[in-house]
């Protein structure tokens, strides 16, 4: 079974060596814990002292973090530790005593070995897929098993669930076996190669190997690993965004949330059944420039420098392999690989690469220019800016796109923040300032209730025309600040889901070396402030509510700040003095009316509404059937629905709009719309067959605009007409009579 989490084999070019897990003495661990407790109680926004309530939350979170599936510990374990430590962890932490961390971890490991002892017997026993029983895969909110017998039953159902999943996933193999049983024919793929029949023994072996790896990983947890889980649980007792980071995790946080310029080989890696596999080569990186690596190659060993010894990385955890590949710019790393086209796994070769700086262009701001056919004498040209996160200098990049939009005579824009989870606060303030003359953007209040107002002091406006900000349930933090500010100013119309994510808090990362004289004491990320809108409300927990709501399944999923334990509450502060521009007031009712009319007759939104009802039903009962007949029927029904939708979409005519992509590189090289950037390298990605054997749509067959974006552009077109009725009449008259100027 694949692990779909991928990593960039690169590292931010930071001072100092890469952090590695280290063995800490219990005394040193206690020193770190005492400092973490002190900083949380004195610096966290709540300013709540370590007390019995925090202690109870701490204990439960720690046990949940070790056993997130609630299948290893028993309920009596939790009750025993709750009675022993429920109101004591706060006092022990203050004294620098972390012995409960290791005592509880030892119990966890004992229970895990017991459970692992059952697995071989369970997995090799005959499994009856005709029995009607069910299993809840997500047990994060369930109780722990009351007894070992109950725990064993959960493991039996889990193994059955996973084996059944492989049977259903290997659809072609199942069908091949059926075909052979009927007439003895050999079933082949479209390319003529024989379909391998489903091998339940091989699939069971894969599942067993995965659990053996899991046990080994847990066995290899050192004191530093245990401390990270323990102190993160303590931090989460204050709020869900406070964490303790080991040195390695601190650097990963820096890379994933702040920097887009990295140093490494320029490859995306994926764990695949014990191997580290290359799934994408990034443009400009050493991997793609070497012309010796391909997506699908598997890394079996890593060596440092020209003469370093090769270290076997087969069966090694993905993050540890990434650590081996990372390094400083200009240094050499040697990879031993099994080429994707190798005849067998014994065919290997070594590739030497010099680490270099990589720009993660996938996270840069992008633009689109959308042309519509002439209608009623009008031919609107609209622009879209997709901003995945607030990275360094993103406001500058958005400004470049806006300048290009002006040259292309764009009449209205959409700022798409649906997948923007936040980033650098100063960049968010700068970006919001591109659309207003000047004024406050956000209020930040810290734990001592001191207020700081961040504002745009630049009177220059990057774009002053009609504008929509498109948001969703994944829009969080800095993206919510921008959306809220532009809504409060009346500068932009907000369109999207029922509310945004609701993360209205500020975190800082504090190196613990300032308090603990240890070489590897890690860092503490803790919440120190909250955001407040210029109008006085907060984005915390409640998010930002758009002016116009579009239906989406995300609104019914268990995502968003309000679903997280110990999240900070929503409140308000004083309203600031700012000058509204009131571009939206008075138009919302009309726009909603027109949008609802379109959605009612739109087939894609009919599918979305149907999916919402299906999701609601599934949320009522989160169990999954373990009957193969029932699951096959459900799968076939789902497949038939997808195929019907796919056929209906293909039957439609061509889209009315023409979409031109616009990248930062295109703007800097002054490339015309529709033309390719000269000598531009593109990522090389691994193309894999879908696991259930179903056909995938080619990229060119997929629509350039999703239903929500398409409807948002229709709303923008309506909005433009409402804002400039006289101009629209003039344009119509000019088109009808060339004498009118």
Catalytic sites, residue numbers: 477, 488, 503
Lookup: tokens for 502: 């609701």
- What are the start-end ranges of the E strands in 463-619? 467-471, 493-496, 505-511, 523-532, 548-549
Give burial (CB, 10 Å; 0-12/13-18/19+) of 738.
Answer: exposed
CA–CA separation, 482 and 11 (whole Å)? 29
> From the CB of residue 386, how many other CB atoms can be counted at a distance below 10 Å?
20
Task: Tell me the torsion sign for CA atoms 54, 58, 61, 63.
Answer: negative
Q: How far is CA 394 from CA 362, 430, 477, 489, in A?
A: 13, 9, 16, 22
Of 198, 124, 129, 186, the C-alpha closest to 691 is 198
CA dihedral 485, 489, 495, 499 (to 10 degrees): 50
Tokens coding 717: 């077109």
Q: What share of the chain is helix, strand, coil (3-state, %, to 5)?
A: 40, 20, 40
- CA-to-CA distance for 145 and 133, rounded, in angstroms? 18
Q: Write the CA distances from 613 to 368, 553, 618, integer angstroms.
A: 33, 9, 9
- Give the tokens for residue 231: 């102190």
DSSP letters along 180-204, please? Answer: HHHH-PPPB-TTSPBPPPP-HHHHH
Q: Is 345 helix (H, G, I), strand (E, B) or coil?
A: coil
Residue that is written with structure tokens 């070992």 in the block: 148
How far apart CA 536 and CA 488 sit, in angstroms, is: 10
**DSSP, residue by residue, 402-450:** HHHHHHTT--EEEEE-TT---B-HHHHHHHHHTSSSSEEEEEEEETT--
Q: How far is CA 164 from the centre of its chain?
A: 28
Distances (CA, A) of 369 to 218, 249, 478, 587: 51, 39, 25, 25
Which residue shows structure tokens 């409402």? 722
Smallest CA-to-CA distance from 255 within 11, 585, 25 is with 11
The DSSP code for 378 is B
The 10 Å Cβ neighbour count of residue 567 is 19
The CA-based angle 47-52-57, given to 5 degrees, is 85
């Amino acid at each position: 079974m694949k692990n779909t989490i991928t990593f960039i084999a690169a590292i931010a070019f930071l001072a100092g060596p890469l952090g590695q897990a280290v063995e800490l003495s219990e005394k040193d661990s206690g020193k770190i814990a005492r400092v973490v407790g002190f900083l949380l109680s004195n610096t966290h926004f709540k300013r709540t002292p370590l007390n019995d309530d925090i202690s109870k939350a701490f204990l439960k979170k720690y046990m949940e973090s070790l056993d997130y599936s609630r299948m290893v510990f028993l309920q009596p374990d939790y009750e025993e530790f709750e009675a022993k430590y429920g109101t004591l962890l706060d006092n022990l932490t203050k004294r620098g005593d972390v012995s409960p961390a290791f005592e509880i971890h030892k119990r966890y490991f004992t229970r895990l070995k017991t459970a692992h002892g059952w697995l071989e017997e369970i997995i090799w026993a005959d499994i009856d897929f005709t029995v009607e029983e069910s299993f809840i895969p997500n047990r994060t909110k369930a109780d722990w098993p009351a007894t070992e017998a109950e725990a064993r039953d959960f493991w039996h159902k889990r193994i059955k669930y996973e084996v059944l999943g492989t049977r259903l996933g290997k659809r072609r193999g199942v069908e091949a076996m059926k075909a052979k049983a009927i007439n003895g024919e050999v079933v082949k793929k479209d390319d003529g190669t024989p379909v391998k029949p489903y091998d339940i023994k091989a699939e069971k072996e894969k599942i067993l190997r995965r659990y053996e790896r899991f046990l080994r990983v847990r066995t290899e947890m050192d004191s530093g690993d245990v401390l990270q889980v323990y102190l993160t649980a303590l931090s989460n007792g204050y709020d869900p965004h406070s964490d303790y980071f080991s040195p390695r995790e601190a650097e990963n946080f820096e890379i994933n949330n702040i920097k887009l310029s990295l140093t490494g080989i320029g490859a995306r890696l994926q764990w695949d059944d014990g191997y580290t596999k290359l799934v994408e080569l990034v443009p400009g990186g050493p991997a793609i420039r070497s012309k010796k690596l391909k997506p699908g190659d598997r890394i079996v060993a890593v060596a440092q420098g020209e003469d370093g010894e090769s270290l076997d990385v087969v069966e090694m955890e993905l993050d540890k392999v990434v650590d081996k590949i990372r390094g400083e710019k200009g240094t050499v790393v040697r990879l031993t690989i099994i080429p994707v086209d190798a005849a067998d796994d014994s065919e290997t070769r070594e590739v030497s690469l010099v680490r270099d700086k990589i720009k993660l262009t996938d996270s840069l701001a992008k633009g689109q220019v959308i042309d519509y056919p002439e209608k009623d004498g009008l031919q609107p040209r609209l622009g879209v800016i997709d901003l995945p996160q607030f990275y360094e200098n993103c406001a500058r990049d958005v400004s470049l796109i806006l300048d290009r939009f002006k040259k292309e005579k764009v009449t209205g824009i959409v700022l798409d923040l649906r997948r923007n989870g936040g980033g650098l606060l100063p960049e968010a303030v700068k970006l919001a300032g591109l659309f207003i003359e000047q004024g406050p953007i956000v209020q930040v209040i810290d734990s001592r209730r001191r207020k700081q107002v961040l504002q745009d002091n630049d009177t220059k406006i990057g774009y002053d025309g009609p504008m929509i900000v498109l948001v969703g349930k994944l829009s969080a933090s800095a993206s919510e600040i921008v959306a809220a500010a532009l809504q409060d100013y009346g500068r932009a119309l907000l369109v999207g889901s029922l509310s945004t994510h609701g993360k209205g808090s500020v975190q800082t990362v504090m190196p613990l070396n300032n308090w603990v004289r240890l070489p590897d004491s890690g860092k503490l990320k803790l919440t120190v402030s909250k955001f407040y809108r210029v109008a006085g409300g907060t984005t915390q927990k409640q998010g930002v509510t758009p002016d116009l709501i579009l239906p989406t399944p995300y609104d019914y999923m268990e995502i968003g700040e309000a679903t997280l334990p110990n999240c900070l509450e929503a409140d308000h502060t004083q309203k600031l003095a700012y000058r509204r521009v009131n571009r939206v007031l008075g138009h919302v009712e009309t726009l909603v009316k027109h949008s609802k009319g379109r959605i009612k007759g739109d087939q894609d939104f009919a599918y979305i509404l149907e999916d919402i009802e299906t999701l609601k039903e599934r949320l009522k009962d989160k169990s999954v059937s373990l009957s193969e007949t029932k699951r096959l029927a459900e799968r076939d029904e789902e497949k038939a629905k997808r195929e019907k939708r796919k056929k209906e979409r293909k039957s439609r005519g061509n889209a009315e709009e023409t979409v031109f992509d616009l990248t930062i590189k295109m703007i800097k090289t002054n490339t015309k719309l529709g033309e390719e950037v000269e000598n531009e390298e593109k990522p090389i990605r691994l193309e894999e067959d879908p696991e259930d054997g179903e056909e995938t749509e080619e990229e060119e067959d997929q629509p350039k605009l999703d239903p929500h974006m398409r409807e948002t552009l229709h709303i923008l077109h309506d909005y433009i007409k409402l804002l400039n009725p006289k101009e629209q009449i003039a344009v119509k008259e000019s088109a009808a009579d060339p004498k009118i100027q």
